[in-house]
Structure 1
Amino acid sequence: MTWTANGCFVTLAILFLWRGEDVAEACSCSPAHPQEAFCNSDIVLRGKVVGKQEVDAGNDVYGNTIKRIKYDIKQIKMFKGPSNDIDAIYTAPISAVCGVTLENNGKEYLITGKLKSDGTMHITLCDFIKPWDELSETQKKSLTERYEMGCGCKITRCTSIPCMISSPAECLWTDWLIMKTVNGGQAKHFACIKRSDDSCAWYRGSAPPKKDFMDIEDP
């Protein structure tokens, strides 16, 4: 599974028949840096799937039953979220409406998602969801040491030249421009951290940054 962004939006794109219901939607996501996914999520946890079932989630405006996939999970570590353990995660049943497929084979995941008013966690394809062993060591450490320090910064994605920032509190994300992937060096090894003067800059390293630091530091 590849990681995706945290800002999901649905576009009218395709028309197909699923379980007798007409669905005229497709899932489309705008890429986000892992730090953005962390900051914009209600819940960030490490866990693995231990069960799966399809459940009813009420009715839509036409009276049709809404289906959801319920993943029973074993929470290994909570990085951001409520004090109680999350033991189930809900998602749409098909990818066309942003439903997520997780493997029930002992694989551990980093999962970000939203907390609903009823206390349940919900995920979409636009959340940052990735097998734990595919994360870089810097990404793993940043979940507890660095990403939260940069939640007051803005990461601006650069896809073509020219690209620029509009304020000192922004970091320019150039992975797609330079490496043709959103999972490049800045996503794997950097965090955008606020300095003492309220400006923001990229920081590289596994330890928390010093009070004042250069734009790029060695691990």
Structure 2
Amino acid sequence: MREVVTFFVLLTSMYICTEACGCLRQHPQVQFCNADFAVKAKILNRTSTVPVDPKRLRSGYTLFFTVKIIQDYKNQTNRYTYQTQDIYTESHDSFCGENFLIGDEYIILGRIYEGQWRTIHCDGNSFPLLITKYQKEAYLLEYYKKGCLCQVDECYNGQCPPKTTNNCVIPQENTQCFYRQNSCQRRGNTCSWHAPACL
């Protein structure tokens, strides 16, 4: 029952946050490759470094979540696995701050700035129950990681970038399928889509 409630709350919070802050659409592989860290983690605690005043919006990473890292997807040595880490975020939805639920597990991506781990909604954080089987494999089997030698390009307003040896192009009419079911991998001297899905 708790999983059902958590699932509903997460969907609601994700919808509100997306509506409030607005994020540039990006393929999960692009988000992974742009991140300094990508981990699966359990949320242990939530701490605000300034008093919360709903009438006064503050921009700044003034909220942090203490997490227990279960899996480190980004680093060669898995050096962060089993480590406890504070991850900072914006304190308000309008600035794309995250609102993780204590006790739940998430896949969290973000940047490290002067030693401080930071994340916002636009970095591509996800709830494991909401991602596809292929996306889970892309983290665990390093499809995204190995694909960082390639570029994922998209079509906008009917205009598509040219296909080159270093990129994969997502056709405009099938964007969500490529987001959820595929990644771009280098084979020999060229980059191409990894799976037959969406093609």
TM-score, L = length of structure 1: 0.69
Q: Partner residue of 2:191?
A: 200
Q: Secondary structure at the match of 2:183?
A: strand
Say if 2:118 is the partner of 1:111.
Answer: no
Q: Is the 8 A contact 1:157 1:173 kept in 2?
A: yes
Cα deviation for residue 48 of structure 1 reads 1.9
2:180 to 188, 192, 208: 188
Unaligned segments of structure 2, at least 5 residues = 1-9, 15-19, 51-57
Distance 1:139 1:67 in 2: 28
Shift of 1:166: 5.0
What secondary structure is seen at the aligned counterpart in 2 of 1:101?
coil
Instruction: State how far apart, in whole Å, the 2-side matches of 1:91 and 1:67 are.
Output: 5
Q: How well do the aligned residues superpose, as a CA RMSD in angstroms?
A: 2.6
More strand by share: 1
The two structures have a TM-score, normalised by structure 2, of 0.75
Count how many residue pairs are aligned between Structure 1 and Structure 2: 170
For residues 78-125 of structure 1, give each alpha carbon's deviation from its aligned partner in whole angstroms, at most 9, with x where no partner exists. Answer: 111472424211011112222111112x3211110111222x210012
Distance 2:24 2:153 in 1: 12
Name the amino acid aligned to 1:161.
G
Match of 1:146 in 2: 143
| Distance (Å, rounded) in 2 between the aligned partners of 1:112 and 1:29 | 15
Give the deviation of 1:76 after TM superposition.
1.1
Divergent runs of 4+, >6 A: none
How do residues 1-219 of structure 1 correspond to structure 2 at under 5 angstroms?
A: 1=10, 27-56=21-50, 68-81=62-75, 83-84=79-80, 85-104=83-102, 106-118=103-115, 120-143=116-139, 144-174=141-171, 177-179=172-174, 184-197=176-189, 199-204=190-195, 216=196
Provide Cα deviations, 1:43-78, integer angstroms capped at 9, x if missing partner.
00001211111015xxxxxxx996611111121111
- Computing the radius of gyration from Cα coordinates, the structure with the larger value is 1
Uncovered stretches (5+) of structure 1, i.e. residues with no partner: 5-25, 57-63, 205-215
CA contact (8 A) 1:54 1:67 kept: no
- Are the aligned partners of 1:156 and 1:165 in contact in 2 as well (CA < 8 Å)? no
| Distance in 2 separating the partners of 1:80 and 1:178 | 31
Distance 1:124 1:149, change over 3 A: same
Percent identical residues: 24
Partner Cα distance (2:61, 2:119) in 1? 14
Which structure: greater helix fraction? Answer: 2
